Chain A
Amino acid sequence: DSGVTQTPKHLITATGQRVTLRCSPRSGDLSVYWYQQSLDQGLQFLIQYYNGEERAKGNILERFSAQQFPDLHSELNLSSLELGDSALYFCASTNGRGGSNTGELFFGEGSRLTVL
């Protein structure tokens, strides 16, 4: 158990719909990352928040948005869903330890989104 909680674990929806994925980081971790992983593919960085502020942005589509709340939980909003958005969405948190800028990432179990 990494200590990072993601809900829901599975989500099936139709094209054009909107969904919200939720992430609660490990206690004490200020930084939250969102990643997208398509079937048997690598991790695509979407966005990072640190203590409520957006810190870095990756290849996140305009249809996607995220935020981190004062209690440090984060939500990823996906709208106007397309078939290609079907993927596993991971949230990861870190306290920045390990010497690098990123530190050791603790991943949640992921939210599997299926768009029909």
Chain B
Amino acid sequence: QQPVQSPQAVILREGEDAVINCSSSKALYSVHWYRQKHGEAPVFLMILLKGGEQKGHEKISASFNEKKQQSSLYLTASQLSYSGTYFCGTELDGSNYQLIWGAGTKLIIKP
């Protein structure tokens, strides 16, 4: 039931792009993305709803493919501040307010 995140880790140079994927074997109602820096609390990035549109802003955006039960997080022209571990949380269709979290993708940005 736990969504699968890929890759597990990625190392980039500042200014490069990254894509982080989150895939579920179950029908999803929503996908949530959070970023956690080492030793800190997770911080909300965005929610994507079934039937919704791609969300985000200029540099960080995400999409949700309902047919494939997959979501992708796009980080464009990465900055040092983007470093951290990215978690997706999935709400299943008909779920009881639980988010099921992926194992996380560790992103390291080097200058």
On whether A42 and B30 interact (CB within 8 A), knowing A55-B97, A100-B49, the answer reads: no
For A, the interface residue count at a CB cutoff of 8 angstroms equals 26
Q: Which residue of A lies closest to B103 (CB)?
A: A42
Q: Which of A87-111 contact B (CB under 8 A)?
A: 90, 98-110
Q: Are B41 and A108 in contact (CB under 8 A)?
A: yes
Q: Which residue of B lies closest to A6 (CB)?
A: B41
On whether A109 and B40 interact (CB within 8 A), knowing A99-B47, A99-B52, the answer reads: yes
Residue in A50, A100, A104, A110 whose beta carbon sits within 8 Å of that of B91 in the complex: A100
The smallest beta-carbon distance between A43 and chain B, in angstroms, is: 5
| Cβ of A27 under 8 Å from chain B | no
Interface on chain A toward B: helix, strand, loop, or mixed SS?
A: loop
Q: Are B29 and A101 in contact (CB under 8 A)?
A: yes
A104: which B residues are within 8 A, CB to CB?
44, 47
Bound CA–CA A56/B79 (angstroms): 38
A43: which B residues are within 8 A, CB to CB?
42, 87, 89, 101
10 extra A-B contacts, CB within 8 A, seeds A43-B87, A102-B97: A42-B101, A43-B89, A56-B97, A58-B98, A98-B47, A101-B29, A102-B32, A103-B47, A105-B44, A107-B42
B interface, CB within 8 angstroms of A: 29-30, 32, 34, 40-44, 47, 49, 52, 87, 89, 91, 95-104
- Of all A-B residue pairs in the complex, the 8 with the closest CB atoms, nearest first, are A107-B41, A100-B30, A43-B101, A98-B47, A42-B103, A104-B44, A56-B96, A101-B97
